[in-house]
Structure 1
Amino acid sequence: MSTLQRTRLADFQLKVGRQLHDGFAGSWWRRSSGLIIVLAGFFVGSNFTVHLENITGARTFSALFALLGCEFLALIRHHSPWLNYFRLGFVYAIILEAFKVGS
């Protein structure tokens, strides 16, 4: 039994309270951890191409190996939903590296 009367102010307070509860209940940490994982994928992708280029000596082969790594991530993504975010950042880094090579 609620002690507040049913007024517009009480409805507004309940609505704001529910929104705050939903925000702290889990959606914000999912968004922030998803963003961190995308950035980690970008970091790994950008460093991966540089190191592969140093190992192979050719940018073409480093792009091929990066493509194989991306396909490997696509194969194992059903084990963890966070791998999709990681793969998104990884692919973005590879595409950005391709634009840098083209210029």
Structure 2
Amino acid sequence: MIQTLPSPRPYPTGVHRSLSNPLELRVRRSLCNSSYRQLQYVRCHCKDGVVLLMGTVPSYFIKQMAQETVRRIAGVTQIDNQVEVVYAEENAQ
């Protein structure tokens, strides 16, 4: 039997799935604890030191802040920042 998973919803980074990966836990905590509250909604996946960032943010500055927040974390060797910038006008449509 094939199970279909629901489409992703915006939710705070630290609450949407179990955290068996210690690096992923550190990344999510850093994003959630950032003074930039929009980073709470950036999703991440970590494997072998590579961090994949996903989601949408309202500006290129916040996208860069997500990357810079993750860059400082011990164990991160590479960042693939796939976060999309969606301006408020685009969200209103």
TM-score, length basis structure 2: 0.29
Question: Which of 1 and 2 has greater Rg?
Answer: 1
Higher relative contact order (CA 8 A, sep 6+): 1
Higher strand share: 2
